[in-house]
Amino acid sequence: MHTLPSPPTSDTRGLLQVNSVSLEYRTGQRLVRATHQVSFDVDPGDRFILLGPSGCGKSSLLKAIGGFLAVTEGTITLQDQKVTGPGPDRIMVFQEFDQLPPWKTVIQNIMFPLLVSGALSKVAARARAFEYLEKVGLVGFADAYPHQLSGGMKARVAIARALAMQPKVLLMDEPFAALDALTRRMMQEELLKLWQEVNFTLLFVTHSIEEALIVGNRILLLSPHPGQVRGEVHSHHYGQHSLGSEAFQASAQRIHNLLFNKSTHPTHSATHSEHVFTDVRISY
């Protein structure tokens, strides 16, 4: 696979803005802080990765951006509009692809949110569903049911369904974690091909450094619990062609050190206009 181009430049900066967001949840009698004053911007066309160890709050951040979790402190805005709940401008794809209703065919699954939202008529929804089904290479399975599909095929249907809604930001929470290694690698490549074709904005959660370097053009590093910003890495030069290279492995090791080196203190704030983190900013 060739090196992916950088996202196109745009006069509109900061499509999504997360400003000093802290998140908390209760377990039994205990109040747990998932993230502490996390700030970042996502620009149009970004493949933005939230990377950190288990328990750093990256999935909680994604749920808050999706409007499913209220923030304890700070604000989240999308195109200068405060996020207060779920909306069709932010569509989430999870790793559990059993979210596809089993009684609906593939084409019906993709059409369903378009019809429920009232975005399109049945005829228009069917046409758009086929358009995105073609993009993921599954037109021949339009009338199949989810139980007749492999894990990778279900993942492609879930992505097609999400992109058919044409959201401002596609939110993906470790979408390929449940897949076997070969299928996961194939899905990473297909996702990048779709990004080149459709040019959507992606916010992607993973705890895999390798996956972050392959999929993302910007990687936000979050410290162990509670999640705080450790820094940002630019990685648009990498792709699956980089796997095994000395530079790729060196970058992966450097990210590991930044994530887990206790002498590297998390950053509590960031300058939105410049995307500068006072602790560290790295470009590869």
pLDDT at 30: 85
| pLDDT (average), residues 230-259 | 84
Same-domain check for residues 62 and 180: yes
Is the pLDDT reported for residue 167 higher than 50?
yes
Same-domain check for residues 179 and 130: no
pLDDT at 166: 94
Same-domain check for residues 194 and 270: yes
Same-domain check for residues 61 and 189: yes
Same-domain check for residues 192 and 152: no
Q: What percent of the chain has pLDDT over 90?
A: 58
Residue identified by tokens 């080149």 is 196
Same-domain check for residues 81 and 193: yes
Domain final position from 166, 182, 203: 166
Is 217 part of any domain?
Answer: yes
Is 9 part of any domain?
Answer: no
Is the pLDDT reported for residue 48 higher than 50?
yes
Same-domain check for residues 80 and 194: yes
Same-domain check for residues 227 and 241: yes
pLDDT tens digits, one per residue of 180-228: 899 899 999 999 999 999 989 999 999 999 999 999 999 999 998 788 9
Which residue range(s) make up the domain with 207? 16-89+169-277
Same-domain check for residues 120 and 239: no
Is the pLDDT reported for residue 142 higher than 80?
yes
Domain final position from 149, 166, 183: 166
Is 65 part of any domain?
Answer: yes
How many domains would you assign to the chain? 2
Same-domain check for residues 178 and 64: yes
Task: Round to whole Å and give the CA distance between 146 and 275.
Answer: 42
Same-domain check for residues 161 and 49: no
Is 1 part of any domain?
Answer: no
pLDDT at 281: 52
pLDDT at 6: 54
First to last CA, the chain: 18
Is 7 part of any domain?
Answer: no
Higher per-residue pLDDT: 47 or 2:
47
Is 2 part of any domain?
Answer: no
CA distances from 255 to 116, 158, 281 (A): 42, 30, 11
Burial class, 129, CB count within 10 angstroms (exposed 0-12 / middle 13-18 / buried 19+): buried
pLDDT at 273: 29
Is the pLDDT reported for residue 137 higher than 50?
yes
Same-domain check for residues 181 and 235: yes
Is 69 part of any domain?
Answer: yes
Is 175 part of any domain?
Answer: yes
Q: What is the CATH number of the domain that holds 175?
A: 3.40.50.300
Is the pLDDT reported for residue 12 higher than 80?
no
| Residue count of the chain | 284
CA-CA-CA-CA dihedral for 224, 229, 230, 233, to nearest 10 = 120
**What's the token pair of residue 260?**
């887990």
Domain final position from 150, 166, 182: 166
pLDDT at 96: 67
Is the pLDDT reported for residue 274 higher than 60?
no
